[in-house]
Amino acid sequence: MTANIVQIPTGQFVDETELKRRTIRQNDYVSCNQAFIDCRTPGSDTKENYSIIGPGVTQSAQQVVNLREPHGFNIGAAAMPDGVVNNLHLHFTAEVFLNWRGTWRIRWGADGTDGDFLCEEGDIVSVPTWIFRGFTNIGGTHGWLFTILGFDNTGGIIWGPSVLREAETHGLYLTIENELIDTVAGDELPENVEVVPPMPQNEIDSLRTWTAEQMQQRVVRQRDLNWSSRPFLCSELPGGGAELATVIGYGMSEDRDQVPPIHYPHNFNAAWLRAVTDEGMLQHRHDHSQVLMGYRGRWLVTLNEGDLQVTTELNPNDSLSVPVGAWRTFTALSDDAQMLVINSGDGRVRLQWPEESIRHAVDKGYASDAAGYVAAYNVVRYSTIDD
């Protein structure tokens, strides 16, 4: 039929208990209001910080992490009342903002004056590494901004010098072990422990400057998404009619003409998936960590095969971690169903389909070519394999 059919080692079985552990409802998210050193800075003191997948860059030992299992990336969130500011800071690995609710003003540069733009609901923003960034909720309501951070170990963050100096006036210090010391709350600054100093000005001056035009190229607007109507081998089969819009990396698209708007390395890839009721993505699996994030509507996620199947509903703001190698099926339960699919790694995610789906695709005139893209069966059936 075709060469190079993806074969993955025996799939991981997921029982009801494990599925429940990996399904993180919005009500399960636990805020920490003292996650960072600016937690007493006026105008920033009502921030809510969430660590959902991995600890992220939190600096508080009190931060609840919903799922600590390494995925190759971290997922968290910042929820902020209108007018509240997240102060300037710098990351060493990718930081991607997922705007689930509200309007945010994103600013950047050593003093936050290199440029700014508005981030609207449904937009995704990939901020460059080694650049100071901050954001403010200006939407008039309580805003919700999810974040994806590259790698399991993010290296922490560097705060702008003025942020550290302001925090010190409120009795807050940060050690080089990324431990937040709160002397007002009774913590004692340990002897012989180095406190993080402000970043030297000569190092700040050496940072790259980003123009507004360059930053806009890293924003993927919901209204500008490029949807593929046939992204998978199952796309022409009953129940397999989901559409895919790539955002970061090529990910799991099997449409050879689909090009992501952001393609440089993040150590993860991300794409929007949408479908109408009873359509979605038929049973498949792959060898990458995966997190599904509900955005609109409702989804039914089914794991395992045959009589061993277990299911869960994914609602807006819920997250689900699907383990490596597990069989999975996504079915829309409403006509407006849309979710973000995040997979580990910078390369393409090669999907494995059950033999039954492969046969049914052939009946419809489609097959996978040697590179894993959907093609006409009457072409690839005549391909030869070189010795």
Assess if residue 262 is contained within a domain: yes
Beta bridge pairs of residue 210: none
Q: Which of 317, 344, 311 is nearest to 14 (CA)?
A: 311
Assess if residue 9 is contained within a domain: no
For the chain, how long is the longest CA-to-CA vector?
A: 75
| pLDDT value of residue 210 | 97
* CB distance 274 to 260 below 8 Å: no
**Same-domain status, 300 and 203:** no
* CB distance 29 to 63 below 8 Å: no
| pLDDT value of residue 301 | 98
Question: How would you write 3-14 as a 3-class SS string?
Answer: CCCCCCCCCCCC
Please state the separation of Cα 49 from the chain's center in Å: 16
pTM: 0.92
The SS3 of residue 27 is helix
**Cα–Cα distance for residue pair 59/180, rounded to 1 Å:** 6
User: Which of residues 220, 250, 271 is at a domain's end?
Assistant: 220
Phi and psi, residue 221, nearest 5°: -80, 145
Mean pLDDT by 10 residues, the chain (387 residues): 54 92 97 74 84 87 92 96 93 97 96 96 98 96 96 91 86 81 81 86 96 97 98 98 98 98 97 98 97 98 96 98 97 98 97 97 96 96 67
User: Which of residues 172, 195, 220 is at a domain's end?
Assistant: 220
Helix (H) or strand (E) holding 332: strand 328-332
* CB distance 330 to 280 below 8 Å: yes
| pLDDT value of residue 1 | 44
Whole domain around residue 251: which residue ranges? 16-20+226-380
CATH number at residue 107: 2.60.120.10
| Total count of residues recorded for the chain | 387
**Same-domain status, 207 and 276:** no
**Cα–Cα distance for residue pair 323/300, rounded to 1 Å:** 17
Assess if residue 4 is contained within a domain: no
DSSP string, 69-99: S--SEEEEEEEE-TT-EEEEEEESS-EEEEE
**Same-domain status, 286 and 139:** no
Mean pLDDT of the chain: 92
**Cα–Cα distance for residue pair 300/310, rounded to 1 Å:** 10
**Same-domain status, 183 and 80:** yes
Digit-coded pLDDT (tens) for 181-205: 888 878 888 778 888 888 999 999 9
**Same-domain status, 138 and 243:** no
* CB distance 382 to 367 below 8 Å: no
Assess if residue 308 is contained within a domain: yes
Which sign does the torsion angle of CA 26, 30, 31, 36 carry? negative
Helix, strand, coil percentages, rounded to 5, for the chain: 10, 35, 50
**Same-domain status, 172 and 265:** no
| pLDDT value of residue 181 | 83
Domain tally, the chain? 2
**Same-domain status, 257 and 197:** no
Assess if residue 210 is contained within a domain: yes
| pLDDT value of residue 288 | 97
Assess if residue 387 is contained within a domain: no
Assess if residue 1 is contained within a domain: no
**Same-domain status, 152 and 208:** yes
| pLDDT value of residue 194 | 86
Assess if residue 325 is contained within a domain: yes
**Same-domain status, 236 and 372:** yes
* CB distance 210 to 116 below 8 Å: no
Specify burial of residue 373 (Cβ count, 10 A radius: 0-12, 13-18, 19+).
Answer: middle
Read off the tokens for 197: 């100093």
**Same-domain status, 56 and 83:** yes
**Same-domain status, 325 and 276:** yes
R_g (Cα) of the chain, nearest Å:
22
User: Which of residues 174, 191, 220 is at a domain's end?
Assistant: 220
**Same-domain status, 179 and 231:** no
| pLDDT value of residue 45 | 78
